[in-house]
Structure 1
Amino acid sequence: MFFLIIQVFANHIIRSSSLGKIKWMSLAGGIAVSYIFVYILPSLHHEQDDFGDTALELAMESELYFFGLIGIVVFYTLSKLAERHRYRSGATIEDSFFFIQTSLFFIYNMLISYIMFAADQTTEQVIFYGVAVGLHFMAVAHDMYRENNKKYRKYGRFMLAGGILCGWLIAEFTPHSSIALSIVFAFISGAIMFNVIKHELPSEGSAHLPTFIISAFTYSTVTLLLKLFFDW
């Protein structure tokens, strides 16, 4: 429910908050960068160790990192293909770009949601890491809203929320394979890294540097302390 509310009402939350858009984006960017370095990369390393132990005579020491690379390449390629439609003239082309981009992020949200709920984490971990993921959803939503606010309000936010709901349903009602989970986690980790860099690192003209720095180091410090004391 938290993710769905964030996705549907992200831009209303940003506009109505006294924090302001620039600080919101800097906050989300700082936490997102921290999330990559203190959670995603260590978790990917841990998954690679487990993958090598369980999978296979053919297992090497880097196959999950390769799936992470595939995640970056796939989302970068699809993003560039979608942008080609954006700069062509005509309403039909503009609609095509919007729905290609939205379909891409439907899948993206679905995979993130699936990993969040299918992974073996405590409720406290899901809540804590869910804050970072929720802010990431908010930043992506705001970026899409800026590009086409009318269609995003009418269709886009509900399609992206649908991706979150689908991911949760798949996680809840389908059997989990540890190997498949590791591969999906690696793939979506690469995609998250790409989208954080593209959507959440604030540009010079739209950044509040103190907010970005404080949020990055505060989230990192809290995460490391929780890992130390609670063995996350």
Structure 2
Amino acid sequence: MEHPISVWPILFLVLIHFYGNRLRFLAGVPRSIWLSGAGGVSVAYVFLHLFPELQEGQEHLQENTWWATRFLEHHVYLVSLFGLAVFYGLERSVVSMKRVQVAKDNKEDSKIAPTGIFWVHIGSFAIYNALIGYILFQREEGPVHEMILFSIAMALHFLVNDFGLMEHHRETYRKYGRWILVLFLVLGWGVGFVKEVPQTVVIVLMAFVGGGVIMNVLKEELPEERESRYWAFALGAGLYAILLLSL
């Protein structure tokens, strides 16, 4: 498969995982305005750029998928809903298991998830990263500005995710988690060089990732104890929306 090779987008995202959590000024309570703004950018990209692409993809699926019945005529968006539900369920499971472990160990001040929860959590995000890596590779077939917009949105999204995972797993994430996420990100990107996935599959992957992005951003912004900055979230979303609409 002939394909132009652009390594800077994948390297950019890899560096975010390696060094993003070292930006200590982003940690703490109240929530950093930069993290809230980054979340706003990610959500704006999904609603104004990714979802419109899914509309075109929906037409492709209806023309090329014989099992697309009337009941499933909007199944692309159902996949987005499924992605959102999966990550919501995952987050609730992690929080619930941490509470059980705290009660069991009588450590009320413990905020670090047990090892078993870590592998479930990281395993899910590893698959998520692999999907994003493959979509990133697919973006190289389109205009350069689309790849840049996607790379920026995903880099900021990874930054939000990394701080959320650090809060749950602390040093375990720093030592092992980020390496696993980088590995699967690169593996997903590398799959594009050896296997051309059908367009139908790419559309479904994009839909799942879109739902996941929305859920993973909102779960970091909504908890009351985070003291998130709504104005920063709105500003990030608004400015990136203006940029997307102007192109």
TM-score (norm 2): 0.80
Q: Please give the alpha-carbon distance, in whole angstroms, between the structure 2 residues aligned to 1:35 and 1:166.
A: 24
Amino acid across the alignment from 2:98: R
Contact 1:25 1:200 in 2 (8 A): no
Q: Please give the alpha-carbon distance, in whole angstroms, between the structure 2 residues aligned to 1:206 and 1:29.
A: 14
Amino acid across the alignment from 2:117: F
In structure 1, the partner of 2:59 is: 49
In structure 1, the partner of 2:19 is: 9
Number of aligned residues: 224
Matched, 1:107 2:141: no
Which structure 2 residues correspond to residues 95-134 of structure 1 after superposition, within 5 A? 95-119=115-139, 120-134=141-155
Structure 2 gaps of 5+ residues are 1-10
Matched, 1:80 2:100: no
After superposition, give the CA deviation of every residue in 1:131-160 in whole Å (9 maximum; x if it has no partner).
011000010001111222211111111111
The percent identity for this pair of structures is 27
After superposition, give the CA deviation of every residue in 1:101-136 in whole Å (9 maximum; x if it has no partner).
111111111111211212442222111221011000
Structure 1 gaps of 5+ residues are 227-232
Q: Which moved more, 1:132-141 or 1:5-14?
A: 5-14
Q: Which moved more, 1:170-179 or 1:55-64?
A: 55-64
TM-score (norm 1): 0.85
SS of residue paired to 1:121: coil
Aligned CA-pair RMSD: 2.6
Distance 1:113 1:37, change over 3 A: same
In structure 1, the partner of 2:243 is: 222
Matched, 1:174 2:195: yes
In structure 1, the partner of 2:234 is: 213
Which structure 2 residues correspond to residues 54-65 of structure 1 after superposition, within 5 A? 54-56=64-66, 58-60=68-70, 61-65=73-77
After superposition, give the CA deviation of every residue in 1:60-84 in whole Å (9 maximum; x if it has no partner).
4212112222222222223333333
In structure 2, the partner of 1:229 is: none
SS of residue paired to 1:105: helix
